[in-house]
């Protein structure tokens, strides 16, 4: 019976990064050895300019353990692993926070379909794990109703997706905002969010990203 359970993978799980077998005393996806080995990547290349973003900092490259961790958080909806990743980033993130001195910290909103399938915003939980208070400044407008009925202007806004929550605009005006996201590739999401923030009066927008793709 035990042999059967092991063969089917039910008796124990193995770390998705290193393959080592472990019994899930924690989230059961990535072993503590791998998580403890997560370190800021040096030297990070900051030659990529992101329009409207005054400065940004990246923790690591989207590869190896970090890639597995981010993938596992999303694929297995693991809030616990998101919190644990936040602890791994904490010192690096806070060093940047001390430097930038943001008035408010925020993160992109998930589109509704992803939010309902996952039930939580992983970046929000990474920030919780890092002990950095954040505010949900953005909401998503995913207009699925008949696209053809929308005006040209509405269609463009629908594609854009992100909106600032009108009730929180006071938190942005004349303020330094830090946007935290999980993955940097083209920088188009950050650029769009920074533009939105500046358009309602933010004085500066900075960004912190977990991994560079």
Tell me how many residues contact Zn ion (CB under 5 A): 5
Instruction: Tell me: does residue 88 bind Zn ion (CB under 5 A).
Output: no
Query: Which residues have C-beta within 8 Å of that of residue 119, sequence separation ≥ 6?
Result: 77
Contact between 123 and 183 (Cβ < 8 Å)? no
Quickly count: other Cβ atoms within 10 Å of residue 156's Cβ.
Answer: 10
Distance in Å, CB of 131 to Zn ion, minimum = 24
Site for Zn ion, residues 4 to 63, rule: CB under 5 A:
15, 17-18, 31, 34
Distance in Å, CB of 77 to Zn ion, minimum = 20
Quickly count: other Cβ atoms within 10 Å of residue 71's Cβ.
Answer: 15
Distance in Å, CB of 96 to Zn ion, minimum = 27
Distance CA 178, CA 94 (A): 12
- List 55's β-bridge partners, or say none: 206
Instruction: Tell me: does residue 164 bind Zn ion (CB under 5 A).
Output: no
Instruction: Tell me: does residue 66 bind Zn ion (CB under 5 A).
Output: no
Nearer to Zn ion, 18 or 143 (CB): 18
Residues in touch with Zn ion (CB under 5 A): 15, 17-18, 31, 34
């Amino acid at each position: 019976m035990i042999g059967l359970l092991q063969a089917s993978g039910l008796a124990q799980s193995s770390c998705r990064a290193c393959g080592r077998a472990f019994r899930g005393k924690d989230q059961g996806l990535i072993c503590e050895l791998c998580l403890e080995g997560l370190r800021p990547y040096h030297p990070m290349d900051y030659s990529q300019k992101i329009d409207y973003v005054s400065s940004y900092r990246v923790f690591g490259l989207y590869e190896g353990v970090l890639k597995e961790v981010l993938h596992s958080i999303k694929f297995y909806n693991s809030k616990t692993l998101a919190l644990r990743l936040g602890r791994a980033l904490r010192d690096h993130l806070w060093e940047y926070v001390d430097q930038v001195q943001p008035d408010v910290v925020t993160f992109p909103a998930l589109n509704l379909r992803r939010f309902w399938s996952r039930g939580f915003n992983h970046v929000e939980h990474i920030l919780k794990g890092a002990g950095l208070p954040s505010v949900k400044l953005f909401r998503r407008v995913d207009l699925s109703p008949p696209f053809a009925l929308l005006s040209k202007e509405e269609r463009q806004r629908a594609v854009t997706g992100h909106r600032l929550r009108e009730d929180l605009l006071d938190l942005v005006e004349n303020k330094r905002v830090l946007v935290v996201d999980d993955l940097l590739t083209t920088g188009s999401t950050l650029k769009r969010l920074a533009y939105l923030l500046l358009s309602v009066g933010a004085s500066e927008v900075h960004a912190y990203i977990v991994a560079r793709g």
